[in-house]
Structure 1
């Protein structure tokens, strides 16, 4: 299992709405992420910059690369596009984070 970490960017003033939408995450999206081999998914907010920092675990035989083509994923991206920085297809803009230290 590998850990993947990345940063995303909320639009100013959208933290409460982002939390609300994730508190109401769709069960079919949760199932899709689990089926793709994603687990232990955490998202943290830097309240000073509205930056989101995420970590997740990927199974060795994961299907993460297939998620952008799935209708449930596309609907979620469309649902979130008005509150965060996104690409032209509404995929959240994502910047990978480089591992610097790990304490097991």
Structure 2
């Protein structure tokens, strides 16, 4: 199953965002794998500071449980100073609807 969404990074913080993800906590990597994430990529649009996330997951219900974990919530708090977030520190994100896929 494929999912995509966009988020928004605060100005001039792309290098910090990249640095934090280059050192992604091992427990976060393990959490994502345990919750069926097969592939996860994030791209940056320098014109808008938007982040485009694309992931492949095994199961949507399992993926949705990631948000409830202590590790994930700790990650959200760690990232909240460099990107738009909700009151619970989760990133403000907008799901993107697929409109074309050559593999389908």
**Matched residues in 2 for 1:15 and 1:53: separation?**
13
Instruction: For residue 65 of structure 1, give the secondary structure of its aligned residue in structure 2.
Output: helix
Structure 1 CA distance, aligned partners of 2:26 and 2:78?
Answer: 15
Correspondence for 1:97: 96
Which position in structure 1 is the counterpart of 2:63? 64
Q: Deviation digits for residues 14-71 of structure 1, max 9, x if unmatched?
A: 1000000000000000000010011210100001110000110110375122112211
Identify the residue that residue 28 of structure 1 maps to in structure 2: 27
Which consecutive unaligned segments of at least 5 residues does structure 1 have? none
RMSD of aligned C-alpha atoms?
Answer: 1.1
Give TM-score scaled by structure 2 length.
0.94
Aligned residues: 103
Structure 1 runs (4+) deviating above 3 angstroms are: none
Structure 2 unaligned spans of 5+? none
Matches of 2:5 and 2:88 in 1, distance apart?
19
What is the TM-score when the length of structure 1 is the normalising length?
A: 0.94
